[in-house]
Amino acid sequence: MNSRRRFLRNALQAGAAGATLGRFGVLNAFASQAAASSSYKALVCVFLYGGNDSNNLIVPVSTSGSNYSSYAAIRQNLALPAPSNSAAAGTTLLPIGFGNDTYGLHPQLAALQNLWNTKRLAVVANVGTLVAPTTRTQFLSPPSTSTLPNNLFSHSDQVAGMQTATPLGFATNGWGGRLADVIAQLGLNPISATFPALVSVTGTSLFGTGATTHPAAVPPGAAIGLQGYDTSLAAADRLFALKSLLSQELLQTSSGAALIREAASITQNGINDSDKLNVALKGAKGIGTAFPTTSIGQQLLEVAKLIQVRSALGMNRQIFFCSLGGFDTHSTQLTDQATLFTQLNAALVSFEQSLDAELSDVAGGVTLFTESDFSRTLQPNSNGGSDHAWGSHHLVLGPGVQGGKIYGKFPSLALNSNDDAGGEGRWIPTTAVDQYGATLAQWFGVPKAYLATVFPNLANFQNASKLPPTYPVYADPTNVGFMG
C-alpha cells in the first residue's frame, strides 16, 4: 500500500472516530499532513531519576504569590541563598523575570538563565501524576471510588506513572511509545522509514515501549551492531546462519517458549535497526560542538548525531529518551543536587548550541523536556535532605518553545495549604502529566482525536469549567500553551 492510500485510510478512520475534520476534512487533513511531513520535529525527554527536588530548581523570589522569605523559613538549611550581585558566581539563586514577578533558578543553572532570557526556556509548574483533578480535601478523604494514582510517593510506581500516563494501571507501554504508534498510524513518518521513531540512549524504558512499535536502543559512543564480522565469505555465511537460527527460535511454539521468542525478536530488531543506523551514520558530517564527557552529555551528543542523520534514516518525527540519575536526595542534598545540576546545565547548553550549529536547519523543530519521579518535600528532614513528594516543576527548552514564561500554577509555598497533600509540602499536581504530554504531542502533529490513544485519562481534564479553583485556568486544558 502506498503512503497516500495508507494516509487516506488513516484519515478516514480518524473521521469515523469522530474527529472534527469538517466537510473537506480528508483533503484538509491531507494538506496539513503534507506540511507536517516537510518540517522535521523531534522530542527529547530527559528523565531525572530519583525524584528531583524542584523546590530548589526554581524559587519564587518576589512574586504575587509566595516570596523568598516564606521559602527560606520552611526550607531552613536547604534554602538556597537569595539572588545577589555581589556574591561569587554559582552561590546564589539566578534571578529570572516573568511579568512583574522575579523567580530564581538554581545557582548552577547559569546557561538555563540565558536560555530563559532568550525565550528558549519555559517552566511548567507543579506537573505530576493524576487520574483526575484532585483537591486537598479529596486527597485527605478519598471518595469511595478512589481516583488517586497507585502508590503515591513510591519511586517505581511514580516513575511508571510519569512514563505511562496511566497511573492506575499496570501498563506495559509508555506514552512515548504510544506517541510513536500514533505517528506511524498517521503516516507522519514516510512509509519508507523503517527505523524506529523512538530511540533510547539510556537502555530500555517503559516510556519508549509502544503497543505496536518497538524502540531502538543506542548506547552512546558504543560501536553499533554485531561485532566480529568482516567482508569475508565465511563471515557472510556465519551471519546468515545466525539469522536463520534466530528465525527458528522466533517460530518456536512449545509452551513456555515465550521468553525465547521475545529475546529472539528483540535481537532481530536490534540487528535490523543497527544495520540501518550504520548505513545512515556512514555519511554523517559529525557534531563539532563540544559536549561534556558526563553520561548525560554523551547521551545528548548521541541524540544530536541521530538527529543529524534523520534524512538518511528517512525520519520526519523522532522521539528520544535520555536520563540522569541520583536525584533521590534524602541526605547531603545541597551538594548532590548541585553536582547533578552542574552536569545537566552543561549538557543542555551543549545540546542547544549544537541545534544552532550543526542542526540549525531543523533547530525550531527540536524540543527537549524534563520528567522525574516526583518532587520532594518543601520541609527538609533532620538529615540534610528531603523526602518523596508529588507535583514537580519541569523544564521545556528549544527554539520552538514559547519561552521566558511559567505555565501552569505555582503552588503556594506554605505547609498545610490547599496545594499540600499533607503537612510537609508535598504539592498536589495542578497540571497532569497527560496535559503536559498532550501539549507536546499536539505540537508534534497529533490531532485531538488521537490524543486519547496516547493519554487515556486526558478526558478527565479537558473540560475547563469542571476543574477545581486550585487549578490553573487554561483556555484549552489539553494544551498548556508552552508550544504556542
Partner 1 sequence: MRFFRYSLAGIVLTISFNFSALGNCRPAAVSTAAATRFLTQASWAPTAEAVAQVAATGFDCYIEDQIALPASPSPDATLTDPVKQTYVLRPVQEAFFYNAVTGKDQLRQRMAWALGQIWVVSAVKLKAQAIPPYNRILQRNAFGTYDVLMKEVTLSPAMGRYLDMVNNNKPTATKGANENYARELLQLFTIGLNVLHDDGTAFLIADRPVPAYSQDIVEGFARSFTGWTYAPLPGTVSRFGNPENYTDPMVAFAANHDNDAKQILSGVVLPIRQTPESDLNSALMNIFNHRNVGPLVCRQLIQHFVTSDPSPAFVNRVVNVFNSYPRGDLKAVIRAILLDSEARGGDAYADFAAAGFLKEPALFLNGVLRRLGATIVPPDFAKGAGTTGLITVSTNLGQNIFYPPTVFNYYAPDYKITDGQTRIAANAPEFQLMSGATAMSRMDVWNTLAFGKMTGVSIDSILLQWQNIVGTTPTATSEAAMVDAVFATIVGGATPKAVKDTVLASFKNLKTPKSMVSTALYLIGSKWSNQVVR
Tell me which residues in 327-366 interact with partner 1 (CB under 8 A).
328, 330-331
Instruction: Decide: is 153 part of the binding site for partner 1 (CB under 8 A).
Output: yes
Q: Cβ–Cβ contacts within 10 Å for residue 48, how many? A: 25
CB of 172 to partner 1, least distance (A): 5
Q: Which of positions 187-206 make contact with partner 1 (CB under 8 A)?
A: 200, 203-204
How far does Cα 477 stand from its chain's mean position?
A: 19
7, 257, 320 from 14: Cα distances, Å: 10, 38, 26
Instruction: Decide: is 240 part of the binding site for partner 1 (CB under 8 A).
Output: yes
The residue from 170, 286, 465, 475 that contacts partner 1 (CB under 8 A) is 170
The residue from 38, 86, 137, 382 that contacts partner 1 (CB under 8 A) is 382
Instruction: Decide: is 416 part of the binding site for partner 1 (CB under 8 A).
Output: no
Alpha-carbon distance of 167 to 369, in angstroms, equals 20
How far does Cα 53 stand from its chain's mean position?
A: 17
**Residue 226 burial class via C-beta count within 10 angstroms: exposed 0-12, middle 13-18, buried 19 and up:** middle
Going by C-beta distance under 8 Å and a sequence separation of 6 or more, which residues neighbour residue 236? none
All 3 cell numbers of residue 471?
A: 487549578
CB of 331 to partner 1, least distance (A): 5
CB of 294 to partner 1, least distance (A): 14
Stretch that binds partner 1, among 181-189, 240-248, 430-438, 448-456 (CB under 8 A): 240-248
Total binding residues toward partner 1, as defined by CB under 8 A: 77
The residue from 130, 162, 264, 406 that contacts partner 1 (CB under 8 A) is 264
Strands (E), 186-324: 198-200, 216-217, 317-324
The residue from 104, 149, 176, 385 that contacts partner 1 (CB under 8 A) is 385
The sheet carrying 94-98 orders its strands as 58-62, 101-105, 94-98
Q: Which residue reads 523570589 in cell numbers? A: 61
Nearer to partner 1, 28 or 212 (CB): 212
**Residue 216 backbone zone (phi > 0: left; psi -120 to 50: alpha; other: beta):** beta
Backbone angles phi, psi at 252, to 5 degrees: -60, 130
Q: Which of positions 304-323 make contact with partner 1 (CB under 8 A)?
A: none
Instruction: Decide: is 419 part of the binding site for partner 1 (CB under 8 A).
Output: no
CB of 408 to partner 1, least distance (A): 25
188, 200, 444, 445, 447 from 35: Cα distances, Å: 10, 27, 12, 10, 14
Instruction: Decide: is 225 part of the binding site for partner 1 (CB under 8 A).
Output: yes
The residue from 13, 62, 92, 150 that contacts partner 1 (CB under 8 A) is 150
Alpha-carbon distance of 338 to 268, in angstroms, equals 42
Instruction: Decide: is 76 part of the binding site for partner 1 (CB under 8 A).
Output: yes
Nearer to partner 1, 258 or 459 (CB): 258
Contact 436, 8 (CB under 8 A): no
The residue from 87, 241, 279, 459 that contacts partner 1 (CB under 8 A) is 241
Instruction: Decide: is 424 part of the binding site for partner 1 (CB under 8 A).
Output: yes
CB of 387 to partner 1, least distance (A): 4
Instruction: Decide: is 45 part of the binding site for partner 1 (CB under 8 A).
Output: no
Instruction: Decide: is 231 part of the binding site for partner 1 (CB under 8 A).
Output: no
CB of 308 to partner 1, least distance (A): 20
